[in-house]
Structure 1
């Protein structure tokens, strides 16, 4: 009898786990919403009374009701990025381009192990590119252009073997452009209009961060 009760309890917990997951993901997205100014009410459907965020506009889920895409491109929102976004473990596409996001890019975004594409271009983000992005081994597209980013390009990013597109043009980056790994294939236009950025390291010289 005790074994039967345990089995029933376990099955109920297992059945509830997707709801628990989506509820926590809803909390993550509400944490982002709480930080933002939203004059066009694009986040109006992000209703805290709903357990499942998969019914919200600009949010896409997989068959297991886990958030795999967040698309707020050109949505006229402003404010800082929430570090809580790093808890969206199944997120594949983070599309936040063409807004007025400001402040630093959270290091916690490096925890998005399933991420394929991150588009943060056309905002007012500042500070450095997080070294934690080197953990995004599934990443294929990283567009950070047209922001106010500074500092050097983390050499840790040369380990991102799947990275096909990398654009940091129109920022205030400094130092040298890596040439290892995927950086051997990126066109120089990807680095345009960074007045303190030098390179690439063509002569096998030891990398030097000019002015960083």
Structure 2
């Protein structure tokens, strides 16, 4: 009886290290996202959680290892909120959720998406503050959060994102001053307009945005 038991244990071990299982965790994360969303035009009808992985789903792109690298749900007439489960998409490079009716706070767990190159959340109804955890996104080049209901200051931690080429937070309700360190010295003022921002801070001086 011991030999079959050993085979069973080896089989379980092989399953635990298989790439399919890791991909399933990504599928679970996306299905959890779907459960939060209202989808009146059925753009997510192919998101079947019983499939081996989400690489066959519409609006999802995977790499050769079946890891999710792109989520394209821009302008899809969806509404709802984002949850912490999106932080499980460790290989995600492009997060496109622009021009929908998404609301609620932006989860700090998005800062776990270390491979992220582009995040487009503009044209929604997101509220709360910009997560400081975005400072962990060292590969990020494009961050568009404009046309939402975001409040609070621009996190100074974002000045460490040396690869950031585009940063747009216009048409929100942000307050405080505009950083000038790091990549922020290269962003046009149009990226910050229609907020309650006080203009660029003096270089070399730290603004703590008291009362913001």
- Asked if these proteins are the same fold (TM beyond 0.5), I'd say yes
Q: How high is the TM-score relative to the length of structure 2?
A: 0.92
Give how far 1:202 is off. 3.2
CA distance in 1, matches of 2:129, 2:200: 19
Corresponding residue for residue 201 of structure 2: 201
Structure 1 stretches of 5 or more lacking a match? none
Match of 1:80 in 2: 81
Give me the whole-angstrom Cα distance separating, in 2, the residues matched to 1:152 and 1:211. 10
Give the Cα–Cα distance (whole angstroms) in 2 for the partners of residues 204 and 64 of structure 1: 45
Structure 2 partner of 1:176: 177
Please list the CA deviations of residues 113-163 of structure 1 after superposition, one character each: whole Å capped at 9, or x if unmatched. Answer: 000000000000000000000000000000000000000000000000000
Task: Compute the displacement of 1:204 (Å).
Answer: 4.5
Contact 2:81-2:102 within 8 A present in 1 as well: yes
C-alpha distance after superposition, 1:68-89 (max 9, x if no partner): 0000000000001121000100
Report the Cα distance in structure 2 between the residues aligned to 1:187 and 1:140, rounded to whole angstroms.
15
Q: Secondary structure at the match of 2:197?
A: strand
- State the secondary structure of the residue aligned to 2:167: strand
Give the length in aligned residue pairs: 207
Task: Answer whether contact 1:144 1:168 (CA < 8 A) is retained.
Answer: yes
How far residue 51 of structure 1 moved from its aligned partner, in angstroms, is 1.5
CA contact (8 A) 1:73 1:96 kept: yes
| Partner SS, residue 199 of structure 1 | strand
Partner of 2:145: 144
Structure 2 SS opposite 1:184? helix
Unaligned stretches of 5+ in structure 2? none
How big is each residue's C-alpha offset from its partner over 1:40-65, in whole Å with a ceiling of 9 and x where there is no partner?
00000001110210000000000000
Alignment of 1:1-212 (within 5 A): 9=10, 13=14, 17-194=18-195, 196-202=196-202, 204-209=204-209, 211-212=211-212
User: How far off is 1:206 after superposition?
Assistant: 3.6
Q: Indicate the RMSD between aligned Cα atoms, in angstroms.
A: 2.0
Counterpart-to-counterpart distance in 2, 1:182 and 1:96: 24
2:209 is paired with a residue of what secondary structure? coil
Aligned residues of 1:117 and 1:140 also touching (Cα < 8 A) = yes
Displacement over 2 Å in runs of 4+: 202-206
Q: Distance in 2 between matches of 1:127 and 1:15?
A: 38
Give the stretch that moved more between structures: 17-26 or 143-152.
Answer: 17-26
Output the CA distance in 1 between the equivalents of 2:131 and 2:203: 27
**SS of aligned partner of 1:175:** strand
